[in-house]
Structures are given as structure tokens and as C-alpha cells.
Amino acid sequence: MTGTVLGGQVKIGDNIELPNLRVEKKVKSMQMFRKPVQVAKQGDRVGICVAQLDATQIERGLACTPGSMKTCETVLAVVQKIKFFTDSIKDKTKFHITLGH
């Protein structure tokens, strides 16, 4: 997995949770700009290798401290189309929405 640390830090040996998959994994190794590192902190771009994770299951998502992120299956939201979006929106269109970033 690659991405930016948004807050806190991650170390080799830490457990991380992938809320989208509802799994907890252990960090085996990390790299920043093709160099191994022991710790990554807020703002760092890092590649993380975790134990026994099928990469085909991940496209996008978050990794966090286990138990720190609450997830839900269904949300009822009132939204308004912005004027810059000129395409039509069909009934039963699915949207991916994230909050709190």
C-alpha cells in the first residue's frame, strides 16, 4: 500500500486496520522514496508492506489505528448538485462519499 500519513505515526510491527475490508494486519516493512524506514509520521509519503494481504482486494481506502474509525453501511444524506457539474444524474445512481478528511 502507498499513501500519505494524515496524522500520528506508524512503525514497523504496528497493527493497522483496513476499515473497508474489516481486517487488522501487521506492518512488516516500510519504504520512503525506495529507502527502508522504521517510522513514518504525519505528512510522509510511504509504502507499507503488511502481512498476508491480497493486493487485489484494495483499490482505495484508509488504514488506521485499530478501532479508531467507525464505519456504517447505510446513510441518508441530502445533497445538492453544484452548478459546475453539467451532466444529468439518473435515478438510483451510486455515489462514493467520505467524511472527515
Among 79, 90, 7, 95, residue whose Cα is nearest residue 44: 7
As a whole number, the mean pLDDT across the chain is 88
Q: Which residues 6+ apart lie within 8 Å of 9 measured at CB?
A: 39, 40, 41, 42
Q: Is residue 97 part of a domain?
A: no
Range of the domain at 52: 2-57
Q: Is residue 82 part of a domain?
A: no
Structural domain count of the chain: 1
Whole-number Å distance between alpha carbons of 29 and 49: 5
The more confident residue out of 90 and 27 is: 27
pTM: 0.69
Band (93; pLDDT cuts 50, 70, 90): confident
Q: What CATH number does the domain containing 12 carry?
A: 2.40.30.10
Band (100; pLDDT cuts 50, 70, 90): low
Q: Is residue 9 part of a domain?
A: yes
Which runs of E-coded beta strand occur in the chain? 2-4, 9-11, 15-18, 23-32, 35-36, 39-41, 45-50
